[in-house]
Chain A
Amino acid sequence: MAAYVLRRLALFVPMMIGIVAVTFGIMQLLPGDPAAVLLGEDASEEAVREMRRALGLDRPWWMRLASYYADLFRGEMGDSYFQNQPVANAIAQRLVPTLEVAFVALLISIVLGVALGIAAAVRRGGLVDAASMLFAQLGVSMPVFWFGILLMYLFAIQLDLLPSIGRGPPLLFAFGQALAGRPAALGESLMHIAMPALTLGLTNAAVISRLVRSSMLETLGQDFVRTANAKGLRPARVVFVHALRNALLPVVSVIGLRFGALLGGAVLTESIFGWPGLGQLAVSAISQRDIPLVQGIVLTFAVAFAIVNLVVDLLYAVIDPRVRLE
């Protein structure tokens, strides 16, 4: 196990080197000069040249790439051009909101997806099945940002039930407050997170519901379930205890990768709901040519993605003894 984890971690290294190089290459190709953007349209050429020197952009590209690797090796990601603070700080401020909304979205999609999947499998061929599979198809066919805007229109504007934009108190903090008997913050926090998380979770819920349905159908057809049925166990018990446990195994295996998709999907969702996360920061960093910040964000996404996958693989091996880590 430890050797496996080490080997997986070792694979991070070439991936990171590659990601830095590809990002750097793309940013090199981007037309536009960070120094000119930074100084604004009324800057003189002389001022732009001075700024380029101050930012170190006057050095040849290979030198800048090499020094970035060197910085990274020392655990440094440099300073953001536009934010007057280290990249690490800028990312730290935005990572938590993104993880927050991705996590809630994952939760929603698992609950919704599993419930629909089970209902569809148990009532196979019936109305529930048809409805939930229609949902599954529509959920992956709908542009996410359109869904988000429709939600906002309905719940924030027409019904005035939810705040249309922004983030409430940090979820963990609000949770702590609630445990201490002050639930107001949690309510506030959840009201804000509801629409972004639902938007982000929609596609996922659809994917998971299909997965659960087919995996349930397979399991329900297997011997041990038939045996359980034959032994006269209550149907609910058969479904929820015996079949579900087995049916959920493949779900666990995809959750890690879906979590990665959620992190990526956050770009659009965050833009719509003014959610102060990494996705929105990524878009603005690219459109400002804030090279160190783009590098940092891409690396953060990649590391988060890799770690979640590793954890899921480990978890999977723990849950399902048939799986061996190789």
Chain B
Amino acid sequence: MMRIRPISCAALVSAALAAGPVAGEQIRLGADVDAGTLDPRVMRDTTAYRVNNLLYDGLVQLDASLQPRPDLAESWTNPEPTVWIFTLREDVWFHDGSELDADDVVFTFETILDPDLKARFRSLFTPIETIEAVDERTVKITLKEPYAPLLSYLDMGIVPRDYVEGGGDLSSNPVGAGPLKLANWERGTKIVLEPFSDHWSGAPEIDGFEFVVVGDNTARAQAFEAGDLDIIQSPLSPQDIGRLVADDRFSNAVMGGLGITYLNINVSDPLLGDAGLRKALSMLVDQDTIVNQIYEGVDQVANSILLPSSWAYDPSITQPGFDPEGAKAAFAAAGWTDSNGDGILDKEGANLGIVLSTHSEDPNRIQALEYIQAIMLENGVDASISISDWPAFSAGVRAGEHQIALLGWLNIVDPDRLMYAQFHSSGTLNWGGYANAEVDGLLETGRASIDVGDRTKAYRAAARIIAEELPYFVIAYQGYQVFHTDAVTFEPDARGMMRTAIGK
């Protein structure tokens, strides 16, 4: 059902003011890709993620420390482990003038769960058994099993049911209840947003917000320096960072991001199935040089699969460190020595040959891999490099055809997101087929338990095993860096969200 909003005084006034020639300054942010679609349910790229965060409100918003805080839901209760009840705010309007109610929330999640929508984030919500509108302002979510990460994923933008069912196309004509609305979208060039004067918390006090698309990292930095952009953020080219930091026209912030760069060591590979060999190879990864020289110190040397920004983080869990001498011993322990004196380690007459792979889109990853290869060659491993574009590379990795692949994970708002699917023996992203019953049990506990203390214990224990057995060697915690001019003030957010820049 749809109620039409009475036109408010504020809207009339702002319309009157807007009638004159407006020469307002926009906040211009450099984005690395254009959004594919502005329907939050099916969005795929980081630009859509960030634009939609401004266009749509969710039940919750995650604050800078990733804690959920009320947004459309003014409060919630969790009467039993599998039941969540949300109470919606009153007088919330969509950009098209219709009112947001519990029906829209139910519609949003039901459509995401419908396989036909092809929602990328569907798997995050599959633990939901039912979602129902108890009344206009109350939504009840029943889970199949306790699912602690749920709240962190409920920042998903709520879409207007009537608009969508009436044939509205959210992907190019988005209608949300967020503080900004779409003014203009020049595909491939820029996405222009303008204030939504009827936002439940009042209109944001800016003239507009533009996402300007510049694909090349260096070109984007140059556009920023030339004054054509007000904000640029990760991904940035490490080569530009020192210069931008030194430039006193700009402010900047570096913080731990929500991603890792890691080596996926394929445990189903005949050679790499040996944990001893995995350990020896890991000792040849010079994390410090990769992080501080190649990535120019924006990232952080990683010590385990748990992120420093997470409540589960434990600095005492460590992976094998860079130690060529120790590696020699470790290789020998695994049976690999240079018995024929050709400079390459061998075992039972076969030389130790390893293929390192990554994708061509990221020059820094290529450099990191090139560096790892060089050290491996110096230490008797006949390492070669294979680089192909992302689709080809990822197809090989998904099929478990790789030996050691350099890649990353993003948006890890909860440890579950980086561990369950990756290391559980039945996990959907466990490409190398890693299986350890103890880890399985710990990950199940971490997922089911609501108590943060229990979850922390479980994830730490699992992370310790992973750091030992090394199906992953985590090279770096990706840093998030943002530069901005004095025209903008905001509180940086590791996900690159811009709500604070518009005062929301």
Contact = CB atoms under 8 A, between A and B. Distances in A.
Interface of A: 30-34, 36-47, 50-51, 54, 82-85, 90, 93-94, 97, 152-153, 156-157, 160, 163-167, 271-274, 276-277, 280-281, 284, 287-289
A271 B216 contact: yes
Nearest to A50: B115
B166 interface: no
B199 to A, nearest CB: 26
A94 B215 contact: no
A46 B361 CA distance: 27
Contacts of A160: 226-227
Contact of B228 (A47, A166, A289): A166
Interface string B204-216: 0000000011111
Interface in B287-345: none
Nearest to A46: B428
A277 B212 CA distance: 15
Nearest to A54: B118
A36 B396 CA distance: 11
B171 A93 contact: no
B85 to A, nearest CB: 29
A272 B188 contact: no
A240 to B, nearest CB: 41
Interface string B59-72: 00000000000000
A31 B402 CA distance: 14
A287 B361 contact: yes
A54 to B, nearest CB: 6
Given A44-B123, A50-B115, A274 B214 contact: yes
B457 interface: no
Interface stretch (B130-138, B385-393, B459-467): B385-393
A156 B226 contact: yes
B347 interface: no
B248 interface: no
Contacts of B110: none
A274 B172 contact: no
A152 B228 CA distance: 13
A272 B215 CA distance: 8
A277 B388 CA distance: 25
B187 A34 contact: no
B212 A166 contact: yes
B435 interface: no
A30 B393 CA distance: 11
Contacts, number: 140
B225 interface: yes
A160 to B, nearest CB: 6
Contact of A276 (B186, B361, B390): B186
Contact of B213 (A94, A164, A276, A277): A276
A284 B32 CA distance: 12
Contacts of B398: 36, 45
Given A271-B215, A274-B219, A276-B188, 19 more contacts: A31-B395, A32-B390, A32-B393, A36-B395, A36-B398, A37-B391, A38-B44, A39-B118, A43-B120, A44-B123, A44-B428, A47-B122, A84-B37, A84-B172, A152-B219, A163-B223, A276-B187, A280-B215, A289-B391
B36 interface: yes
17 contacts: A30-B392, A31-B395, A32-B390, A32-B393, A37-B390, A38-B44, A43-B428, A44-B428, A85-B171, A93-B187, A97-B188, A157-B226, A160-B226, A165-B228, A273-B219, A274-B213, A276-B187
A287 B389 contact: yes
B226 A84 contact: no
A134 B220 CA distance: 34
B489 interface: no
B172 A94 contact: no
B367 interface: no
B222 interface: yes
A109 to B, nearest CB: 24
B38 to A, nearest CB: 9
Contact of A166 (B44, B187, B214, B389): B214
A94 B389 CA distance: 24
Interface string B105-120: 0000000000110101
A272 B219 contact: yes
B198 interface: no
Contacts of B123: 42-44, 47
Nearest to B395: A32
A287 to B, nearest CB: 5
Contacts of A93: 186-188
A51 B389 CA distance: 21
B428 A45 contact: yes
A164 B429 contact: no
Nearest to B172: A85
B391 A288 contact: yes
Nearest to B185: A93
A167 B36 contact: no
A224 to B, nearest CB: 52
A31 B388 contact: yes
A83 B37 contact: yes
B172 to A, nearest CB: 6
B391 A32 contact: yes
A284 B188 CA distance: 11
B226 A163 contact: yes
B30 to A, nearest CB: 9
B101 interface: no
B230 interface: no
Contacts of B39: 84
B136 to A, nearest CB: 31
> Which of A44, A165, A274, A276: most chain B Cβ within 10 A?
A165
B189 interface: yes
Given A32-B391, A152-B219, A82 B36 contact: yes
B429 A44 contact: yes
A32 B219 contact: no
Given A90-B187, A273-B219, A276-B186, A42 B171 contact: no
A57 to B, nearest CB: 13
A166 B190 CA distance: 9
B36 A42 contact: no
Contacts of B252: none
A132 B118 CA distance: 59
Contact of A34 (B42, B222, B226, B391): B391
B424 to A, nearest CB: 12
A36 B391 contact: yes
A156 B228 CA distance: 10
Nearest to B407: A41
Nearest to A35: B118
Contacts of A274: 213-216, 219-220, 223
Contact of B44 (A40, A45, A47, A152): A40
Contacts of B122: 47
Contacts of A47: 115, 122-123
Contacts of A167: 189
B150 interface: no
B352 interface: no
Contacts of B215: 271, 274, 280, 284
A31 B401 CA distance: 13
Contacts of B425: none
